[in-house]
């Protein structure tokens, strides 16, 4: 077994004294595709933000190739739930954002756009793209810095089912071609089973790992294969093992997201 690319051990993470993650520990080896699967509120997106360096307020140790996570690590790319393209930049400039102003002229931008099938849209503005196209551009942006670990936060939850399947296949082929390790957060059992080498099923309140599933199926996988259905059933059983009483809303209410507050830019570590 090779050295882990990501060694994560988050013992405790709270939002205003409410525990959201309680003792989550796992390693990811280079080249693996790993999913964090769980209901909303299980802290899976929070874990991803910790790995990305967006959240530094936790107890535990996280090491990416031996170093603690930090923003703008060249090892780590991040893909949000929505494309989050900057609307005032052309698609090419968005993909090459990391290279500074005029980054769209970087030769790698052309290659990446061709790989995600957007070669003809280099000079278009994000408003001219469909949801799936915009997410493809976002994937290209995430790969631009050639990260060894790509983090994806429910990346395909905002697109329709057909686009989602195409994007999943695109993601797999890109990961294979670039040798990128993927850590994916999802609440879609089919998606987790189809994409992953390993699935960590998470439970909520507080967030913890309910079980680990080794998928161990060769690719390309058949979406209709019986083995895949068996993996899905296994994941479902782990999710339901959680014994959620759906009539008891107390925990749901406690987990309710805080009302939206205006952003305090002064408190952001990367703001002025």
Identity of the residue, 113 or 193, whose beta carbon is nearer to other proteins in the bound complex: 113
**84 dihedral zone (left: phi>0; alpha: psi -120 to 50; beta):** left
Least Cβ distance, residue 216 to other proteins (angstroms): 32
What's the rounded Cα separation, in Å, for the pair 4 and 197? 15
Q: What element of type H or E holds 52? A: helix 44-52
Report the interface residues with other proteins, using CB under 8 A: 52, 54, 71-72, 78, 80, 82, 84, 86-89, 97-98, 101, 121, 123-128, 262-266, 268, 270-272
Least Cβ distance, residue 3 to other proteins (angstroms): 25
Which neighbouring-strand residues pair with 182? 33, 150
Identity of the residue, 127 or 250, whose beta carbon is nearer to other proteins in the bound complex: 127
Using an 8 Å Cβ cutoff, are 36 and 82 in contact? no
For the chain, what is the radius of gyration of the CA atoms? 19
Least Cβ distance, residue 171 to other proteins (angstroms): 18
Least Cβ distance, residue 67 to other proteins (angstroms): 15
What's the rounded Cα separation, in Å, for the pair 53 and 253? 28
Which neighbouring-strand residues pair with 8? 26, 62
Least Cβ distance, residue 128 to other proteins (angstroms): 4
Identity of the residue, 107 or 262, whose beta carbon is nearer to other proteins in the bound complex: 262
Identity of the residue, 99 or 244, whose beta carbon is nearer to other proteins in the bound complex: 99
Beta strands in 94-246 (DSSP E): 149-153, 181-186, 198-203, 208-214
Identity of the residue, 52 or 62, whose beta carbon is nearer to other proteins in the bound complex: 52
């Amino acid at each position: 077994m090779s050295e882990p690319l990501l060694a994560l051990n988050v013992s405790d993470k709270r939002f205003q004294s409410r525990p959201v993650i309680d003792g989550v520990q796992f390693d990811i080896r280079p080249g693996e595709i790993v999913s964090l699967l769980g209901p909303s509120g299980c802290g899976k997106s929070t874990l991803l933000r910790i790995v990305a360096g967006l959240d530094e307020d936790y107890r535990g140790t996280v090491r990416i190739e031996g170093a603690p996570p930090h923003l703008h690590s060249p090892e780590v790319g991040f893909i949000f739930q929505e494309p989050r393209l900057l609307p005032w930049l052309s698609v090419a400039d968005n993909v090459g954002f990391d290279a500074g102003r005029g980054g769209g002229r970087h030769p790698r931008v052309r290659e990446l756009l061709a790989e995600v099938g957007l070669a003809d849209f280099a000079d278009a503005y994000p408003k001219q793209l469909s949801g799936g196209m915009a997410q493809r551009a976002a994937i290209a942006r995430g790969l631009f810095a050639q990260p060894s670990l790509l983090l994806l936060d429910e990346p395909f939850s905002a697109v329709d089912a057909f686009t989602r399947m195409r994007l999943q296949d695109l993601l797999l082929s890109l990961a294979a071609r670039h040798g990128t390790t993927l850590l994916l957060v999802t609440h879609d059992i089919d998606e987790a089973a189809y994409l992953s080498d390993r699935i960590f099923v998470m439970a909520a309140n507080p967030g913890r790992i309910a079980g680990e599933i080794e998928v161990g199926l060769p690719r390309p996988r058949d979406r209709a294969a019986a083995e895949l259905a068996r993996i899905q059933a296994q994941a479902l059983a782990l999710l339901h093992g959680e014994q959620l009483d759906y009539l008891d809303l107390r925990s749901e209410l406690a987990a309710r997201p805080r009302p939206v507050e205006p952003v305090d830019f002064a408190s952001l570590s990367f703001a002025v």
